[in-house]
Amino acid sequence: MVEAVWKRLTPVYPTVVFFSPDDAEADMRQWLGSHADYFPQGGGNLGDRLKRGSAHLFARGVSKLIILGGDCPYVDRFVADAAFNALDHVDMVIAPAHDGGYTLLGLRRHVTALFEDIDWGTSSVYDTTMAQARQAGLSIKTLEPMDDVDDLASWERVQRYLGV
């Protein structure tokens, strides 16, 4: 599944893979190839890792950032293009997941609050993230909701979608 998304996006966009466990770089490079930069995620919860990764990339001079999880196979070039284009006009772009999370988060700057005080892995992630974004005064574009892969039924749907 990750490979399918990878092949659709890496020829077009500079890509960074934050991986775990922290000593898995050789395995990640062997699996996904040399079309990306690789960095260990480090410890902590998902918010801690997203916050660190986002801060790292903006510190390196990135002007727009799209964060995708490995469980979001419906994000294709058209969705990525829409997200990057939206960031020309808004501070944040988000694609809700049908389960209450999100499948894509795009930013023009590092916003620590978007990764703090969120009950990760629950149906409140999207709503809490939106509340944090509004409180931070961000302008927001919301994309169409999508599925992510959380269970066998969603895995079977994505297999059909990808023609596997």
Task: Let me know if 59 is exposed, middle or buried by CB neighbors in 10 A (0-12, 13-18, 19+).
Answer: exposed
Query: Against a cut of 0.85, is the pTM above it?
Result: yes
- The pLDDT-based confidence of 94 (bands split at 50, 70, 90) is very high
CATH class of 2-153: alpha beta
Dump pLDDT digits (tens) for 34-64.
888 999 999 999 999 999 999 999 999 999 9
Is residue 58 classed as helix, strand or coil in its secondary structure? helix
What lies within 8 Å, CB to CB, of 128 at 6+ separation is 117, 118, 119
Buried b / exposed e over 99-124, threshold 16 CB at 10 Å, is: bebbbbbbbbebbeebbeebeeeeee
